[in-house]
Amino acid sequence: MIIGVPKEIKTDEYRVSVTPAGAAELIKEGHTLYVQNGAGEGSGFSDAEYEKAGAVLLSDAAELFRSADMIVKVKEPIPSEYGLFKEKQILFTYLHLAADRVQTEFLLEKKIRAFSYETLEVNGNLPLLEPMSEVAGKMASLMGSVHLGKYHGGSGLLAGGVVGTHKAKVMILGGGVAGKAAAEVAAGLGADVTIVDINMERLHYLNDVMPSNVATLYSSHQTIKDLLPHCDIVVGTVLIHGAKTPKLITKEMLCLMKKGSVLVDVSIDQGGCFETSHPTTHTHPTFIKEGIVHYCVSNMPGAYPHTSTYALTNATLKYVKALARYGAQNVCKEVPVMISSLNTYDGVLYNKAVGDAHGISSKTFV
């Protein structure tokens, strides 16, 4: 199969979907790999490294898309890339379709055979989302702490405090991979941390493994309202597989918070778990509403592309190999977990959660 690795062009995105080592493995299995010039530079990989691995370098994105049977990306296609795709092309990347009707309609109209990283499920886990969730979770507490700085519009409180002063109070919505990572970093900074979640089994686990400055509470609307007036940072990490994220903090609830507090919406790719959230970029990461600083960068791991690219490609390569080996027509039969990754195929939607989000009919793969 001919596999195309384009340069990511989303604002402030520096990751790449295949490392030179991964390129060598795909080529060893008999596939042809086209890599756009400069695709790996942001992650620390030179064009020469891809050439040494056996990849063919192309300067023109249009030629790469035209030549490839499968496009492997990191982030979802943006509108300026839509015209580059050809009908019935395979696409493997993060899609987050529940929060993006325009992209969903494009993939259906173009009959793209689209598989997403974030919905691929193995034994109840999301192995292609988890590495980036961990990066984003660790970043969330760091960015929340930085943006408490007065020069960012924050309250001026140092997260861990110093002797004789107050520490920041941090609430983390969701105790999954991202929530756990956020709690570890916030606790490490010295803040007082509370994780809220509705999964009691997960809360028991977190209670056992977290340090003493991390508490756990069962999540409810009232629990969140009761905690908000005391919080300096709130990190939203809620995830419903493939679906749009519920709004756990409404615009009206912002008045409960202290001015200069910070909301970090890790869930923004799936629509965000704060009603007042909208996507931001690393260049302009925050905005202020009702006196509350909002950090809603939609590709948080892109800030640390060297770490993120390795973490992502360590997880995705085996599935890239499967798609290349069996093709979109047979991969779901040969590798059944790929059924959960399938979102659109030849104009048909195969993700019910996305269909429910947009009022589009979907089918079940058989």
pLDDT at 245: 87
Domain match, 296 and 275 both: yes
Average pLDDT, rounded, for the chain:
96
- The arithmetic mean of pLDDT across residues 234-251, rounded, is 89
Residue whose C-alpha is closest to residue 297's, from 135, 155, 148: 135
Residue that finishes a domain, picked among 284, 303, 322: 303
Query: Closest Cα to residue 115, out of 360, 274, 354, 345?
Result: 345
* pTM (two decimals): 0.90
Residues 110 and 11 in one domain: yes
170 falls within a domain: yes
Show which of 287, 303, 319 is a domain's final residue.
303
CATH number of domain containing 179? 3.40.50.720
Residue 240 is predicted with a pLDDT of 80
Alpha-carbon distance of 265 to 277, in angstroms, equals: 7
Query: Pairing between strand 292-295 and 286-289?
Result: antiparallel
Q: What share of the chain is helix, strand, coil (3-state, %, to 5)?
A: 40, 20, 40
Number of domains in the chain: 2
Quick one: 165 and 175 in the same domain?
yes
DSSP symbols for 45-73: --HHHHHHHTPEEES-HHHHHHH-SEEE-
In a shared domain, residues 6 and 138: no
Which tokens hold the place of 230?
A: 């005391």
What pLDDT sits at residue 13?
A: 94
pLDDT tens by residue, 262-284 = 999 999 988 999 999 999 999 99
Please, what sign has the CA dihedral across residues 312, 314, 316, 321? positive
State the pLDDT confidence band at 244, using cuts at 50, 70 and 90. confident
Active-site residue set: 96, 269
Q: What is the DSSP letter of 208?
A: H
